[in-house]
Amino acid sequence: MVMRHVGVILKLGGVLALLGSIILIIFAYALLAYPIEKICSPTTNKCEFISKSPEVLGSLINPYLLVTSLLLIAGGVGIFRFALWYQYKNANHATHENDRG
């Protein structure tokens, strides 16, 4: 029932992967354009990492954004590959049915 719309599912996978790629590029831009400074306290031996980016980009520099972008890319590619596999399987199945009949 859902698989009648394989073309839409293909496009959805492409859009998800593209969205994840855009987020990853923004993350990389924020890391490369603005340095991260390491400030260590001599008394506690703890270090703190501070980005010199503007507030908007500073909030984007966190591990959760990186994980989210990688999951979007992987999910989009997975959906895309599944839809292509399903399309190929159905095309082969229809060809074999026509050969028999």
* pLDDT tens-digit series, residues 62-89: 889 999 999 999 999 999 999 999 888 8
Give the chain's domain count: 1
Residues 23, 65 contacting (CB under 8 angstroms): yes
Residue 12 domain flag: yes
Average pLDDT, the chain: 85
- pLDDT for the residue 74: 97
Asked whether residue 54 is domain-assigned, the answer is yes
Domain range for 16 is 2-95
Q: Is residue 22 part of a domain?
A: yes
Residue 101, domain member (yes or no): no
Q: How far apart are CA 45 and CA 34, in angstroms?
A: 25
What pTM was estimated for this model as a whole?
A: 0.74
Residues 13-59 pLDDT 10s: 999 999 999 999 988 888 888 888 888 888 888 888 887 888 877 77
